[in-house]
Amino acid sequence: MKRLMWLCFCLLTLILNGCIKPNYSTQIGIVKEDRNIQILETIRDEKFYQKSMDAINNGRNIKLDENDIKGLPTYCIQFKDETQNIVVSNYDLWVVKENQEVIFTNHMNPYSYYKIEKEDEDFIRNIILKHHEEK
């Protein structure tokens, strides 16, 4: 009887875990002076999540003097797994006024800087500037 109960428990666990689909969201916000993040919008759309994540993953490493971004508003894009309620990754972003480039770094480990590729620049810039204007 114990084996039958154990088998039923294992089967039920496998079925339930197989039915739980990850639910991802993209959160857009600003980084305040005290480094706290204020989320302005949460977008629950798998395609949007993937396109945003790809844009970040395709960024290329650049050498940057911190004075180049000093004084610019700091935006945030955060990728979250809603099913487990955990932040997958989050990044600080800046739009350089002179050339409209989008620069980013990891929010938790801000030692390397990256530049969004040209083909993704408009997409990311429009997302973050839209929220800055609404603020």
Measured between alpha carbons, how far is 74 from 93 in angstroms, rounded to an integer? 6
Full-model pTM: 0.76
Measured between alpha carbons, how far is 76 from 98 in angstroms, rounded to an integer? 20
The whole-angstrom distance between residue 14's C-alpha and the CA centroid of its chain comes to 30
* Domain spans of the chain, in order of start: 22-134
What number does CATH give the domain 22-134?
A: 2.60.40
> Can you tell me which residue has the tokens 């600080």?
92
One pLDDT digit (tens) per residue for the chain, 135 residues: 777 777 767 666 766 665 566 689 999 999 998 889 999 999 998 899 999 999 999 999 999 888 888 889 999 999 999 888 899 999 999 988 788 889 999 988 878 999 999 889 889 888 887 766 554
For the record, the structure tokens of 81 come out as: 């797994």
